[in-house]
């Protein structure tokens, strides 16, 4: 009888303690437990909802949660959104997983709780929902965003969103109080040396510096557990750690006992029914990770019209979504939103690849360029795409693509090129695209050069659209301004094409009346003695890559420059990557400056270093490193010629040297150019 009285008193005291505990906290407290053993085999990653294989089932649950007015009763008011872009997906083997979603609340304070929805699968294919709140400071949340370590012990509250779902397994008569117990597991990063992760539980302060593919982190496991006092008529049924006996009370510690349950981590290995066999902690652990919002792009997507939303949310456009999300995160301005909307309105995700989009719109492009894109009509954007597709398929190494794209979009977004005044063009060059690419002076001359090149293309390529002509005119202007670099005097003389007329010839030779002799101006310049000549190669080509314009640029002193050396590859239509386009009369500066070459360029035949007759494809190894000896051999032959040759005689003598050199190259295919003798 005395023993019975003592037991009843003990029973009453403990009962009062537990009931008060339940009223003050929805959970029981448990000492922090860290598990760093190799048996803890969880895998986790961050995904979007569209990337989930359980998307349909998840969408149903999320819609129910979002539409339930009492779901977020613990929040402080304001609209609440479920972040579907930054979802933590955790697997414990092939048959069990959880999803963790962050909640974003409008008008929340910096120190408001971080709230997550955790979904654990049920046997019927649906999900059980838990609301997990972390009482964190603003700085702690920022630390999580940057991949740093935050100690969350004693800062966690776990709440069932559907009350009463978890039902403890019967332990006999007695009093039972139940709740979630949290245990924590630190996972090191994937950079492992001598079997130890570089970033682990011993250097949490350095986690933010981790560069490994898999960053370090903390998994929290929530286990629904019951504490109980056994019925004296049914002794020995307590949970405990496997060592309790008689009428002792006990507390079950997940993972305790003489054997290691659940493969050592106490976590469920498959969907489980929370109404059955729950409360003893047996393989019902639910893993999660404190999940923060890294991007609010998904909120912007929610605000889009349905047709645009459907385009970007299409799973087949996942890579495109990532590109737009990354851009939005870096530039979340109103202009950025307008740009994304413009991209979706012309359905670019279904027109070009994400890689093409990044290359033609994002990589290295300014915000001014992107703003100009938003001013383009859909058909102009589509033509911009078609031009870049054409350039992309060119077998040659194309130049100035980005710069030309910027100029093209700047002009096209401003006005029709045919009706633009000089003042309007100068405004575009100064403010919208190109002023920073070259010297800040002579904008008027640059304007005239763009116009002249545009008119040139319109005249000789009538099958091209106006915008295609403008695109290539912009590139020609950029190239020409670079060509002029060595000719423009220090005082800044540059081309002035205000009253210029562009002359041309088609074929291998210039017409005599269009020669570059000093008495025949081909293109006018600021200085009357400075001229430029052009020759169209392959006029019938419809694509930008095959069409080539050879240029002779004559300085005030009469010295001629020939443009850029890699143009020869296009002139020869050489696409074999194992071969190089070799200039038979070399490109070397001492050869270009030689009087014989200079005179030949001014002859009736107008020799050019990049014309087809001066080129030959050779195996790359024959050109490897250099061919200085070959250059010296050609130079010696030029030096041996009389100094008083006329321009026509110089051309003829140069052709003799060229033909001998070409024959030697052909006859000795296994000889390096430096070792040729002719």
pLDDT number for residue 101:
96
The sign one gets for the Cα dihedral 375, 379, 383, 386 is positive
- pLDDT(443) > 60: yes
Q: Give 592's pLDDT tier (boundaries 50, 70, 90).
A: very high
CA atoms within 13 A on the CB side of 549: 21
Q: What is the per-residue pLDDT across 144-174, written as a single tens digit (0 to 9) for each?
A: 988 888 988 889 999 888 754 566 655 444 5
Mean pLDDT of 659-666: 95
Cβ burial 494-533 (10 Å sphere, 16+ → b, else e): bbbbeebebbbbeeebbeeebbbeeeebbbbbbeeebbbb
- pLDDT(338) > 60: yes
CB 188 within 8 A of CB 197: yes
Q: Give 278's pLDDT tier (boundaries 50, 70, 90).
A: low
Q: Give 1's pLDDT tier (boundaries 50, 70, 90).
A: very low
User: CA 129 to CA 58: how far, in whole Å?
Assistant: 11
pLDDT number for residue 163:
55
Percent of the chain with pLDDT over 70: 70
SS3 (DSSP) at 124: coil
Phi then psi for residue 619, to 5 deg, are -60, 140
Q: What is the per-residue pLDDT across 606-648, written as a single tens digit (0 to 9) for each?
A: 788 988 889 999 999 998 878 999 999 999 999 999 999 999 9
The 8-class DSSP code of residue 623 comes to H
pLDDT number for residue 385:
94
Q: What is the per-residue pLDDT across 448-481, written as a single tens digit (0 to 9) for each?
A: 667 767 776 776 677 888 888 888 888 877 766 6
Q: Distances in Å between the alpha carbon of 325 and those of 51, 80, 292, 331, 646?
A: 15, 21, 16, 10, 66
Token duo for residue 386: 């078609």
Mean pLDDT of 24-51: 57
User: CA 590 to CA 398: how far, in whole Å?
Assistant: 27
The sign one gets for the Cα dihedral 422, 423, 424, 429 is positive
Q: Where are the beta strands (DSSP E) in 74-210?
A: 80-82, 87-91, 97-105, 114-121, 127-134, 156-160, 176-187, 192-193, 196-197
| 146 exposure class (CB count in 10 Å sphere: 0-12, 13-18, 19+) | exposed
Question: Number of helices (H) and strands (E), helices first, in the chain?
Answer: 20, 18
Taking all residues of the chain, what is their mean pLDDT, rounded to a whole number? 75
User: CA 97 to CA 455: how far, in whole Å?
Assistant: 65
Whether pTM exceeds 0.75:
no
SS3 (DSSP) at 666: helix
Range from 153-167, 385-399, 520-534 carrying the lowest mean pLDDT: 520-534
Mean pLDDT of 358-373: 92
Q: Is 204 left (phi over 0), alpha (psi -120 to 50) or beta?
A: alpha
User: CA 646 to CA 603: how far, in whole Å?
Assistant: 9
What are the residue boundaries of the structural domains of the chain, listed by start? 4-288, 578-678
Mean pLDDT of 437-456: 64
Q: What is the DSSP string of 574-608?
A: ---TTEEEEESS---HHHHTSHHHHHHHTSTT---
pLDDT number for residue 302:
87
CB-CB neighbours of 597 under 10 Å: 22
By DSSP bridging, strand 250-251 and strand 560-561 are unpaired
Which of 660, 593, 673, 581 lies closest to 625 in space, CA to CA? 673
User: CA 588 to CA 673: how far, in whole Å?
Assistant: 14
CA 254-258-264 angle, to 5 degrees, is 50
User: CA 298 to CA 83: how far, in whole Å?
Assistant: 7
Mean pLDDT of 241-266: 40
pLDDT number for residue 543:
59
SS3 (DSSP) at 177: strand
pLDDT number for residue 541:
55
Q: 283: which residues sit within 8 A by CB, 6+ positions away?
A: 261, 262, 266, 267, 268, 269, 272
Number of residues in the chain? 678
Say which residue, 33 or 202, is predicted with more confidence.
Answer: 202
């Amino acid at each position: 009888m005395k023993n019975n009285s003592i037991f009843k008193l003990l029973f009453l005291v403990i009962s009062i303690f537990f009931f008060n505990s339940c009223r003050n906290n929805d959970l029981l407290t448990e000492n922090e437990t860290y598990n760093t053993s190799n048996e803890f085999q969880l895998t986790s990653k961050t995904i979007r909802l569209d990337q989930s294989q359980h998307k349909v089932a998840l969408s149903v649950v999320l819609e129910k949660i979002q539409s339930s007015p009492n779901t977020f009763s613990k929040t402080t008011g304001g609209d609440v959104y479920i972040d579907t872009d930054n979802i933590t997906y955790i697997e414990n083997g092939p048959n069990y997983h959880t999803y963790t979603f962050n909640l974003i609340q409008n008008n929340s304070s910096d120190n408001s709780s971080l709230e997550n929805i955790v979904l654990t699968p049920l046997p019927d294919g649906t999900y059980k929902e838990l609301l997990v709140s972390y009482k964190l400071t603003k700085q702690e949340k920022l630390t999580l965003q940057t991949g740093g370590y935050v100690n969350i012990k004693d800062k966690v509250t776990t709440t069932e969103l559907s009350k009463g779902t978890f039902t403890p397994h019967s332990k006999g008569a007695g009093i039972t109080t139940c709740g979630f117990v949290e245990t924590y597991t630190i996972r090191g990063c994937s950079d492992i040396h001598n079997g130890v992760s570089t970033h682990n539980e011993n250097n949490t302060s350095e986690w933010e510096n981790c560069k490994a593919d898999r960053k370090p982190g903390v998994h929290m496991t929530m286990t629904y557990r019951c504490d109980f006092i056994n019925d004296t008529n049914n002794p020995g049924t307590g949970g405990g750690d496997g060592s309790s006996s008689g009428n002792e009370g006990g507390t079950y510690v997940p993972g305790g006992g003489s054997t290691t349950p659940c493969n050592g981590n106490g976590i469920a290995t498959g969907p489980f029914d929370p109404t059955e066999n729950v409360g003893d902690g047996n393989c019902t652990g639910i893993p999660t990770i404190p999940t923060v919002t890294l991007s609010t792009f998904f909120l912007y997507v929610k605000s889009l019209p349905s047709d645009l939303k459907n385009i970007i949310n299409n799973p087949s456009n996942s890579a495109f979504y990532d590109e737009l999300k990354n851009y939005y995160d870096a530039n979340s301005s109103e202009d950025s939103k307008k740009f994304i909307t413009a991209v979706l309105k012309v359905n670019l995700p279904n027109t070009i690849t994400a890689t093409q989009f990044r290359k033609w719109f994002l990589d290295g492009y300014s915000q001014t360029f992107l703003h100009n894109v938003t001013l383009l009509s859909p058909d102009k954007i589509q033509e911009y795409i078609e031009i870049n597709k054409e350039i992309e398929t060119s077998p040659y190494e194309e130049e100035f693509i980005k710069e030309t794209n910027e100029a093209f979009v700047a002009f096209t977004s401003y006005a029709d090129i045919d009706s633009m005044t000089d003042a309007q063009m100068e405004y575009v060059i100064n403010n919208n695209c190109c002023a920073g690419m070259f010297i800040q002076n002579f904008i008027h001359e640059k304007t005239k050069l763009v116009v002249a090149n545009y008119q040139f293309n319109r005249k000789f390529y009538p099958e091209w659209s106006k915008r295609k002509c403008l695109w290539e005119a912009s590139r020609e202007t950029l190239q020409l301004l670079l060509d002029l670099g060595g000719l423009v005097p220090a005082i800044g003389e540059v081309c002035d094409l205000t009253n210029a007329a562009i002359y041309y010839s088609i074929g291998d030779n210039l017409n005599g009346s269009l020669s570059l002799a000093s008495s025949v101006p081909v293109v006018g310049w600021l200085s009357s003695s400075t001229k430029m000549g052009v020759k169209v190669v392959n006029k019938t080509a419809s694509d930008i890559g095959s069409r080539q314009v050879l240029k002779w640029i004559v300085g005030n002193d009469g010295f001629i420059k020939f443009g850029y050396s890699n143009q020869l590859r296009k002139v020869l239509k050489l696409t074999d990557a194992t071969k190089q386009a070799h200039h038979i009369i070399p490109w070397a500066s001492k050869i270009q400056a030689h009087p014989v070459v200079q005179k030949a360029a001014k002859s009736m035949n107008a020799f050019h270093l990049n014309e087809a007759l001066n080129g030959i494809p050779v195996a790359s190894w024959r050109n490897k490193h250099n061919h200085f000896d070959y250059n010296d051999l050609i130079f010696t032959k030029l030096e041996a010629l009389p100094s008083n040759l006329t321009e026509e005689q110089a051309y003829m003598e140069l052709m003799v040297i060229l033909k001998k050199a070409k024959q030697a190259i052909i006859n000795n295919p296994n000889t390096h150019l430096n070792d040729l003798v002719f």
